[in-house]
Structure 1
């Protein structure tokens, strides 16, 4: 279902881009549209997004590795989001944009960490524990998240060429994971993976802005990278098959956005 929504969003963007090309790049009897739109100090709009969230993992050198192979893998998937746009014009080349939205996310972590049972007697850094045999359910964690994503972007745009212009933007993000389980007392011993609620990152974006008679359409691509460690460790009495195998994890997001202003 999620993949279908993403494909529909992407297909719509190509169709709109095709219509834009047909309308915006004719040279005969062409008139500039929304000529006063960019002269406004403040403007607003909304956006739709197709996203791909994944984790960049830094693994523990003992518990997170099977020889030279990673014992933990992250698998991202495609999903969607939507939000609002607020723009403040700074000058003829720069705008400040606030684009709060909700991003619906699903990821999977796979733990091939059965070999950690060899440390059951304990080491200098690993306390003794009771080894268990990992089932298929123990080895996988399906992580569903809803992010309140609030990017603040400084946008630079080129000169307008009739009814289009290129732009690039960069800025910082606050990302609240509303399904983080950060304060849960349960952990991976009962199938609950925990991560941080409040996260901070940076974003870069680029695309094209197209002007129509009644609105401005902007297809663009955005990358967002969380800077803080999102991992919440398991409880002290939990065997080191899950969170202990990871030293740090950071969300990486690649997003196609379709903005309407």
Structure 2
């Protein structure tokens, strides 16, 4: 599907935009040991693969800057401000365009209070095993979330997305698919088409309205094993750079 297909008539610039809104890079304070690529390398590879929307969602760090957004724009990509915050005792939540420090988003109550029409909240891998997933905190707080993620980390025969899909359908929440990118080879496997104009506000509104289509192909068993091997090795022996300094957020 081309990002130019199904354009509206008249003056609307809306079209299907290929999007990845869950990706990490070498600036991630948590995953810098296992993410060898820089933000610019991630943007460049995404552009080569036809992506038009990208969010670099480091753990508890929004690395969006005007300069990085311009770098992406020059390559045909709209860069959304965003991060993957740890809330409610370390549960992962994807937040976009909040432009505030992560400590202001470390509980569901804080996220709820700061949410608005120009922000977006997505539940990533909500029912995957492990303490980082929301589980019942999603089903008990559905009003906080604008969409549910269909995670690209799956193999044939094992897919922990089923409960998330059922939850999204029951709650009539949009389902969006992303790769949780830690290695560039993960790009182009699971992603979402968003029908929107190529600007942040239109993209956020389109996701909330459910103007999305998910494309996903499972990882091979060898790829999944390689991911875990690289991750375990990187966490054990990888070179960890000094923690980056977060850009000053806009006051909200």
Whether TM exceeds 0.5 here: the answer is no
Shorter-chain-normalised TM-score: which range? under 0.3
Structure (1 or 2) with the greater strand fraction: 1
Q: Greater helix percent: which structure?
A: 2
Query: Higher Cα Rg: structure 1 or 2?
Result: 1
